[in-house]
Amino acid sequence: MKPLYPISLVTIFICLSGIAQGAEPNPSMNGSGLITLLGNTRPEATQTNDRGPVADNLAMDHMLMQLKRSLVEERAMDMFLDSLHDPKSPNYHHWLTAEEFGERFGESQTAIQEVTTWLESNGFTVNGVFPSRMAIDFSGSASQIRTAFHTSIHRLLVNGQAHIANTSDPTVPEAIARSVSGIVSMHDFRPQPLNIPRAPQYTFSPFGSLYEGVVPADLATIYNINPVFEAGISGQGQTIAVIENTDLYSNSDWTAFRKAFKLSQYATGTLTTVHPEPKSGPHNCADPGVVWGNDLEAALDAEWASAAAPSAGIVVASCRDTTTFGGLLALENLLNSPNPPGIVSLSYGECEAGLGAAGNAAYSAAYSLAVAEGVSVFVSSGDSGAAACDNHQYWAYYGVNASGMASTPYNVAVGGTDFGDAFAHTTGEYWNLDNSPEYASALSYIPEIPWNDSCASTLLALAYTGSPASAGPNGFCNSSTGEYYISTAAGSGAPSTCANGTTSLPVGHSGSCAGYPKPSWQKGILGNPNDGVRDLPDVSLFAANGVWGHFYVFCYSDPFGGGWPCSGPPSTWSFAGGTSFSSPIMAGIQSLINQKTGSLQGNPNYVYYQLANQEYGSTGSDVCNSTNGNVVGSSCTFYDVTLGDNDVVCSYGNNCYGSDNVPNHRRLVRAEPWIYGILSVQMFAAEPAYPATTGWDFATGIGTVNVANLVSHWPMQW
């Protein structure tokens, strides 16, 4: 049976400037003295989804007025951040405090006073200004928003779920517009956790092999962490903060995880939950309690960060959602505190177009502050292939998009892989039939492929049909078996295309969105396109959820969130995958580097790409090709994943090739028989988005890591 088509998907990307119910005319050019803050409306705020205005007295608490720099000031900041990572610069590793950063690169006190005075004159309560001087926390009501910003807050019904959101871009007086990006946020749409449970509908048993649950000792074998542990480096003295909008269901889950997998022998490893508040500024971080479902994310983040760095202090930093996502509040507050953590991991996602101009600016500003402080930020690249706006959907519709929470130039975007042993019929070479006392069974490094659960995967198509064809009436996606793989679950990677979030237009049109410029450290790496924009991901790690027989094991006992008690052997525990795992693990790996070097590292991409350039050169490295598996070169820092892709299935819409064999942007009603296509760089040609290739690629970035070599090859002068 075909899956039901999600409600209202065909309407979500309708242009929102003046169409949605309650929208105000654009006054930016009519001499009224008002400027429209473009790109500050959710794409779901359409006439189709509109259910009328909210009550005037609806409280809108702790919104963030996101401030902005001029282009000249932004360039000056980027040059300064580059100099912090240049051993030849006098600024090298001279990290700033949040206050120092605010003085040098934040908005002026005069401009901030102008904005706060205007807010207060319109009845808003100004709760405070962050020391970094890039955001103002304020609260008010729906009626005050309508009066001040000339936009209405309406109730929406989207895919059967109730939401609220502003129906048009807000306006502000021209006198303050030069200092303002927009408001974060005037809606209740939240970023999604990036984890995918093990899916029981998979009928594919990889050539009769047993399913292999990956545990911490497997991770240490596969990615060669054991030599680092044996050298006494396991994260002592390091702090890794995982950003959440929930508390853990139970701290005992983390304890049970460490005990079962023999991590408790690292006595210095600790777990702390904090609801951070900055030294000065707004007080906006309330204890969120346990948010069912999201607490699963918190559990795996804390546990698997500890798996990679068992002696590190793990801090669960969480704030309750207000009108703003609680995770963003926790991040801002941590970074604006006197002692920010050395490493941060964030495993939530939202596409650039969905975040909008203010949302993208908020994460960019927060991460740039982190880099200036020496803090390394790791963010999951996403779990929907190159279709970040279609996360957790059956198929892609909105085309190629990147996660705005991962696409800034100031963070490491961590993608996902699977193991390729089942595809190659070599499982017996890489896994023991019996487990060790730590429940491990991996024997060595295992060849990797991009994580991809979708029928658009050429490797799945080959395994089932002997042909890589997925699209069209005779393709794998349209076969009786391929129907089990109608999914967008795959490690994400794509170019930044809509960081300014200025418009969301219907299928078949072009908009004025633009991506982040390509950062200096990403230029010139083999395989990276000369596209002028930031490309994702940077690096990858295993993130699969079972389609080829491999997934992660973790302890999550919340029965309301679908968890299982962790009282028995780990084979009875929870299983899942997703880049939610790869990000905290990579954060843990970075803590080993920080411990060895004895210093903070800021944005590690400067070194990752330097080392990858040395390894791949202009032609790639045959000895470091992941397909070599257990005979891969012993000196490799990165394993170059070159087999497979992260392409996903699409119905009709942007970048969809082979669906119904009609011009896809003209197809408005789905008819039987359903014919699925594949996400393609071109609408009318098959250029899958995206294959794994030599060197850097959109499927896995620069590849996965040999941790011992990464630690030993890290330049000490850095």
Per DSSP, 110 falls in state: H
Q: Of 114-118, 184-188, 442-446, 451-455, which range is least confident?
A: 184-188
Amino acid at site 712: S
The per-residue b/e assignment along 642-674, b for 16 or more CB within 10 angstroms, e otherwise, is bbbbbbbbbbbbbbbbbbbeeebeebeeeeeeb
Distance of CA 712 to CAs 321, 549, 612, 635, 708, Å?
41, 32, 14, 10, 6
Q: What is the average per-residue pLDDT within 355-373?
A: 96
Contact between 612 and 684 (Cβ < 8 Å): no
Name every residue whose Cβ is closer than 8 Å to that of residue 31 and which is 6 or more positions away in sequence.
Answer: none
Strand residue runs (E) in 411-545: 412-419, 448-450, 539-542
What does pLDDT average to over the chain?
89
pLDDT at 705: 98
Residues 6+ apart with CB under 8 A from 2: 483, 486, 674
d(CA 276, CA 279): 10
Give pLDDT, residue 513.
81
Give the least confident one: 30-44, 346-360, 654-668.
Answer: 654-668
Contacts of residue 117, defined as CB under 8 A and 6 or more positions apart, other chains included, come to none
- Asked if 356 contacts 501 with a C-beta cutoff of 8 angstroms, the reply is yes
Confidence of residue 30 (pLDDT cuts 50, 70, 90): very low
- Evaluate if residue 36 carries a pLDDT over 70: yes
> Residue 205 above 70 pLDDT?
no
Tokens of 232: 């006494």
H or E element: which one contains 118? helix 109-121
Q: What is the dihedral of CA 657, 660, 661, 667, to 10 degrees?
A: -90
Distance between CA atoms of residues 82 and 606, nearest Å: 9
pLDDT tens by residue, 65-91: 999 998 899 999 999 999 999 999 999
Tell me what pLDDT residue 510 has: 39
Find tokens 């000895």 and name the residue.
623
Copy the structure tokens of residue 118. 């205007």
Q: For tokens 């908005």, what's the residue?
A: 107
Minimum mean pLDDT range among 33-37, 194-198, 318-322, 423-427: 194-198
Q: What is the DSSP letter of 191?
A: P
Give the tens place of pLDDT for each residue, 373-396.
Answer: 999 999 999 999 999 999 888 899
SS3 content of the chain, % helix, strand, coil (to 5): 30, 20, 55
Question: Please, are residues 697 and 629 in contact by the beta-carbon 8 Å criterion?
Answer: no
Yes or no: say if 151 and 187 are a contact pair by the CB < 8 Å rule: no
> Confidence band (pLDDT; 50, 70, 90) for 425?
very high
**Euclidean distance between CA atoms 424 and 718, whole angstroms:** 40
Beta-strand relationship, 212-214 and 550-554: parallel
Q: What is the pLDDT of residue 512?
A: 61
Query: Is it the case that residue 702 has pLDDT exceeding 60?
Result: yes
SS (H, E, C) 559-595: HHHCCCCCCCCHHHCEEEECHHHHHHHHHHHHHHHHH
291/186 Cα distance (integer angstroms): 21
Give the tokens for residue 5. Answer: 């088509």
Q: What percent of the chain is predicted at pLDDT more than 70?
A: 90
Contact call for residues 323 and 361 (beta carbons, < 8 A): no
Q: Say if CB 343 and CB 308 are below 8 A apart.
A: no
- Has residue 217 got a pLDDT over 70? yes
pLDDT (0 to 100) of residue 684: 76
Looking at residue 704, its amino acid is T
Q: Is 194 helix (H, G, I), strand (E, B) or coil?
A: coil
Distance CA 101, CA 85 (A): 16
Residue with tokens 């392409």: 647
- Mean pLDDT, to the nearest integer, of 19-37? 50
Report which DSSP code applies to 664.
G
**For residue 198, what pLDDT band results from cuts at 50, 70 and 90?**
low
> What pLDDT digit, counting tens, does each position of 109-165 carry?
999 999 999 999 999 999 999 999 999 999 999 999 999 999 999 999 998 999 999
Predicted local confidence at residue 39, as pLDDT: 87
Q: Give residue 240's region: left, alpha or beta (phi > 0; psi -120 to 50).
A: beta
pLDDT, tens digit (0-9, with 9 covering 90-100), for 580-590 = 999 999 999 99
Spatial contact of 479 and 465, defined as CB atoms under 8 Å apart? yes
Crossing angle between the packed helical segments 251-260 and 294-308, to the nearest 10 degrees: 40
pLDDT on residue 509: 34
| Average pLDDT score over residue span 485-501 | 93
140 class by beta-carbon count within 10 Å (0-12 exposed, 13-18 middle, 19+ buried) = buried
pLDDT interval class at 169 (50, 70, 90): very high
Rounded Cα distance between 613 and 620, Å, is: 9
pLDDT tens per residue across span 496-513: 999 886 644 433 333 468
Residues contacting 539, CB < 8 A, separation 6+: 412, 414, 415, 586, 608, 638, 701, 702, 703, 704, 705
The confidence band for 240, taking pLDDT boundaries of 50, 70 and 90, is: very high
